[in-house]
């Protein structure tokens, strides 16, 4: 077997989880993470880089004789890093710039769904704030306002009334809170139901479906407080029955992948569909063109076997011989966030208890915003750690995960105590 030097691009708990699984693979020779964090340095060699600098990523890959690059976050994908790597004959996991538009532009992704009959909330597109406001005033029902471009997860306002929707238009289009990302906006119907994160890995033609997961976007227990990048996740969510999955594959996954092929931009990489499920009927909230975070952490916790054939098969354009398996039972991830998150956060706060939980069976701590300062691990970002556990049942996983969380501490630490509440029995 030809072993490969692998580089994971990114610095979150998603990338730590990927490094952890890739480092286990017999197909991996050296593993690098760029730029990584204190956790990735346990499984990989960290390399300094700006993830949005495609030329620097290509140069780093050449310098370290990297055979395979796995791109974690959306911004470099939308900026075309996979195309630049392919131009340099370096194998890369993730979609091309043209395919990454499914996440990079909400206008483009809604129009794509409309063209290909993929079920999504009814919508209208505006480039003019006055027209958007007139539309909101005449609608007479609650609406969702979305910035077109990438806005670090903050570009969506689910307005409870017209005043909130008008405020959102004002801040996005007149105050330019997201700069050029809101030159255009999408205004859409509010959907009701339960959200599910569903990922498939595609090689452009075929796909391998991953286990479903559920994220918790609000900061506080009971789904209260501001939206965040995700405060915790679990898998599998009971609402995602085999019947619902069959509908999602037939109505969403197959038409999406076919549509991308027909448009000459076959989708390779991880396609993450944010779905709303109401009475067993799925509707697409959004596409993402990469693994979810913290969804990836629970998926890697449940993954059974070698993850490399899946990633490599997608990148090479041939998943025909790849099948995957999941550990039975469930997995849960609880995010420990810094004080102040999701607004400005305090950094360089020492983290206690990591060594204590390191050897706990079934528990794995994936690092996000952490770095090593002298011999200590300190905070370096908003989401600091993703504490994961697997178990025979979701309740067992929850017990293990919260047992570990209780042994970790840092000043200002905040986390949700109710991850998995929709599915937990205890």
Binding site residues, ligand AMP, CB under 6 A:
121, 144, 146, 156, 158, 188-191, 195, 217, 274, 285-286
Residues 6+ apart with CB under 8 A from 235: 211, 212, 213, 214, 295, 298, 299, 302, 330, 331
Q: How many Å apart are CA 158 and CA 279, to the nearest integer? A: 21
Per the structure block, which two tokens stand in for 308?
Answer: 């490399």
Q: How many Å apart are CA 299 and CA 196, to the nearest integer? A: 13
Q: Please tell me whether residue 67 binds ligand GLY under the rule CB under 6 A.
A: no
Residues 6+ apart with CB under 8 A from 250: none
Burial 282-317 (b: 16+ CB within 10 A, else e): bbbbbbbbbbbbbbbbbbbbbbeebbbbbbbbbbee
* Helix H or strand E encompassing 69: strand 68-71
With beta carbons less than 8 A apart as the criterion, state whether 41 and 65 touch. no
Judged by CB under 6 A, which of 10, 155, 230, 391 binds ligand GLY?
A: 230
State the minimum distance, in angstroms, from the CB of residue 187 to ligand AMP: 10
Q: Please tell me whether residue 295 binds ligand GLY under the rule CB under 6 A.
A: yes
Q: How many Å apart are CA 159 and CA 156, to the nearest integer? A: 9
- Size of the residue set binding ligand GLY (CB under 6 A): 6
Find which of ligand GLY, ligand AMP, none residue 292 binds, CB within 5 to 8 Å per kind. Answer: ligand GLY
Query: Among all residues, whose Cβ is closest to ligand AMP?
Result: 286
Nearer to ligand AMP, 61 or 191 (CB): 191
State the minimum distance, in angstroms, from the CB of residue 21 to ligand AMP: 26
Q: Which stretch binds ligand GLY (CB under 6 A): 37-45, 291-299, 355-363, 390-398?
A: 291-299
Binding mask 199-228 for ligand GLY (x = CB under 6 A): ----------------x-------------
State the minimum distance, in angstroms, from the CB of residue 394 to ligand GLY: 18
Nearer to ligand GLY, 67 or 74 (CB): 74
Q: Please tell me whether residue 292 binds ligand GLY under the rule CB under 6 A.
A: yes
Q: Which residues bind ligand GLY (CB under 6 A)?
A: 215, 230, 288, 292-293, 295
């Amino acid at each position: 077997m030809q072993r490969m030097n692998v580089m994971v691009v990114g610095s979150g708990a998603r990338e730590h989880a990927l490094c952890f699984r890739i480092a286990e693979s017999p197909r991996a020779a050296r593993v690098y993470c760029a730029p990584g964090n204190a956790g990735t340095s346990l499984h990989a060699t960290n390399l300094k880089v700006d993830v949005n600098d495609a030329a620097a990523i290509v140069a780093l890959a050449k310098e370290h004789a990297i055979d395979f690059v796995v791109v974690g976050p959306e911004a470099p994908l939308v900026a075309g890093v996979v195309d630049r790597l392919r131009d340099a004959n370096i194998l890369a996991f993730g979609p091309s710039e043209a395919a990454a538009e499914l996440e990079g532009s909400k206008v483009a992704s809604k129009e794509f769904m409309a063209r290909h009959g993929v079920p999504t909330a009814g919508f209208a597109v505006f480039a003019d704030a006055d027209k958007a406001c007139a539309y909101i005033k005449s609608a007479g029902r609650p609406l969702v306002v979305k910035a077109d471009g990438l806005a670090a997860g903050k570009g969506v306002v689910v307005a409870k009334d017209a005043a909130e929707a008008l405020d959102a238009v004002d801040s996005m289009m007149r105050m330019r809170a997201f700069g050029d990302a809101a030159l255009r906006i999408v205004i859409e119907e509010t959907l009701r139901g339960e959200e599910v994160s569903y990922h498939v890995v595609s090689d452009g033609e075929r796909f391998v479906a991953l286990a479903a997961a559920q994220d918790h976007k609000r900061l506080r227990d009971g789904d209260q407080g501001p939206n965040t990048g995700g405060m915790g996740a679990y898998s599998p969510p009971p609402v995602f029955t085999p019947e619902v999955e069959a509908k999602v594959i037939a109505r969403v996954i197959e038409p999406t992948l076919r549509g991308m092929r027909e448009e000459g931009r076959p989708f390779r990489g991880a396609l993450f569909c944010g779905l709303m499920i109401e009475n067993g009927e799925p509707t697409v909230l959004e596409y993402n063109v990469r693994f979810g975070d913290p969804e990836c952490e629970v998926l890697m916790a449940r993954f059974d076997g070698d993850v490399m054939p899946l990633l490599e098969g997608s990148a090479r354009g041939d998943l025909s011989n790849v099948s995957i398996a999941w550990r039975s039972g469930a997995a849960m991830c609880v995010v420990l966030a810094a004080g102040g998150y999701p607004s400005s956060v305090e950094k360089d706060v020492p983290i206690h208890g990591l060594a204590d939980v390191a050897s706990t069976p079934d528990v794995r701590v994936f690092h996000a915003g952490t770095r090593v300062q002298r011999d200590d691990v300190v905070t370096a970002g908003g989401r600091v750690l993703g504490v994961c556990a697997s178990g025979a049942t979701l309740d067992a996983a929850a017990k293990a995960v919260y047992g570990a969380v209780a042994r970790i501490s840092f000043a200002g630490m905040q986390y949700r105590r109710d991850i998995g509440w929709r599915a937990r029995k205890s």
